[in-house]
């Protein structure tokens, strides 16, 4: 009984220390909290202040006025709202993936909704800003030959798909990668159970082997 109690106490202490160490190590891998806003985001936010579509001057003419008007109207009436940024994708503009700059735009505008990037020749991309809603992806592989009519149709379809989906205002703090809170807990429990079971079994077998060896049996 004494050995059992000692073993359990040691186990609890080790679990506490291990958990603290894991938390500490994982904390060092957290990305830095950045609230920088890049120039491109400011320009787009200015353009979106009175419209739901911003077209960078360098790609003016890629969409016709009629196409822009249709996209603007659909984006405006969609629930949640959609904000469309049309520009060439760039890795030299001070941000990482396009979701970063879309979030910057959303923060600047302070208008919850779906922020969409349209880059001629590249796939559509989007991110929810200020809303926590059911899963929605606008991603579509780019066509071999880009055309504004195909892009407009695709964009309108996606906006229609977005319209009416369930959402709540507020930033989504759940992890898409781990599948929300339940997925996070489940993953931790599953990995811990399998890992701990395996390590515990190996340790016990090793102990038995050493015991027999030392005893000379």
Partner 1 sequence: MGAVVLAVGGLTVGATAAAAEAADDGPVRVATVDEMIDRLRDDPILVQPSMGMGDSALAHDVLTEAASGAELPVYVVLAQMPEELADGERPGEQVAVLLRDELGDGVYHVEFLGESSYTGVWGAPDEYDFRDAYIALRNAEENGPGEYPRASALFEAAVVAHAAASPGQELPQSVVDDYASRPWAFIPESTTSMADAKATRWVATLATVIGVLIAGIIVTLGVVRAKPLKTKAGVPARRSAHETVPEQMADRARKRLASARRRFEALPGTELTADPGEKAARAIDAAERVLDTGDELDAVGAYVLALIADREVDRVKRPERPAFRPCFINPLHGESHDTVRVGGSSIDAPVCSTCGRQQGAFLSVRKGIRGWAPYVETDTVWAWTGYGALVGDLADQVLADRGVRR
Q: Contact region for partner 1 (CB under 8 A) — 64-72, 92-100, 134-142, 148-156? A: 92-100
User: Could you say which residues in the range 16-35 bind partner 1, by CB under 8 A?
Assistant: 16, 18-19, 21-23, 25-27, 29-31, 33
Q: Please give the DSSP secondary-structure letter assigned to residue 7.
A: H
**What are 100's two structure tokens?**
């970063």
Give yes or no for residue 178 binding partner 1 (CB under 8 A). Answer: yes
Report the alpha-carbon distance of residue 172 to residue 132 in Å, rounded: 5
What are the tokens at 114?
């779906």
Distance in Å, CB of 88 to partner 1, minimum: 6
Shortest spacing between CB 160 and partner 1, in angstroms: 27
Angle between helices 65-77 and 148-162 (to 10 degrees): 10
Token duo for residue 127:
């991110």
**Pairwise CA distance, residues 139 & 52, whole Å:** 19
Name which of 21 and 160 has its Cβ closer to partner 1: 21
Cβ nearer to partner 1, comparing 15 with 143: 15
Residues in 179-208 at the binding interface with partner 1, rule: CB under 8 A: 184-185, 187-189, 191-193, 195-197, 199-201, 203-204, 207-208
Pairing of strands 82-86, 53-55: parallel
Residue linked to tokens 């202040």: 49
Is residue 102 near partner 1 by the rule CB under 8 A? no
Find the binder of partner 1 among 73, 76, 94, 108 (CB under 8 A). 94
Provide the minimum distance between the beta carbon of 54 and partner 1 in the complex, in angstroms, as a whole number: 13
CB of 8 to partner 1, least distance (A): 6
108 binding partner 1? (CB under 8 A): no
CA distances from 124 to 24, 89, 92, 115, 158 (A): 37, 10, 19, 11, 10
């Amino acid at each position: 009984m004494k050995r059992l109690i000692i073993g359990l106490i040691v186990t609890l202490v080790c679990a506490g220390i291990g958990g603290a160490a894991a938390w500490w190590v994982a904390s060092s891998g957290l990305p830095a909290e950045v609230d920088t806003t890049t120039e491109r985001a400011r320009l787009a936010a200015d353009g979106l202040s009175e419209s739901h579509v911003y077209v960078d001057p360098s790609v003016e003419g890629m969409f016709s006025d009629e196409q822009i008007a249709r996209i603007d109207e659909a984006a405006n009436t969609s629930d949640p709202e959609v904000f469309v940024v049309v520009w060439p994708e760039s890795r030299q503009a001070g941000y990482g993936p396009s979701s970063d700059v879309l979030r910057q735009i959303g923060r600047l505008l302070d208008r919850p909704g779906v922020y969409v990037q349209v880059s001629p020749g590249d796939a559509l991309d989007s991110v929810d800003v200020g809303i926590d809603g059911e899963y929605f992806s606008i991603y579509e592989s780019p066509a071999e030959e880009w055309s504004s009519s195909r892009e407009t149709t695709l964009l309108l379809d996606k906006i229609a798909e977005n319209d009416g989906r369930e959402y709540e205002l507020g930033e989504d703090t759940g992890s898409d990668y781990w599948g929300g809170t339940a997925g996070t807990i489940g993953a931790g429990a599953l990995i811990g159970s399998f890992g701990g079971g395996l390590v515990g079994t190996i340790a016990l077998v090793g102990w038995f082997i050493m015991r027999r060896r030392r005893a000379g049996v």
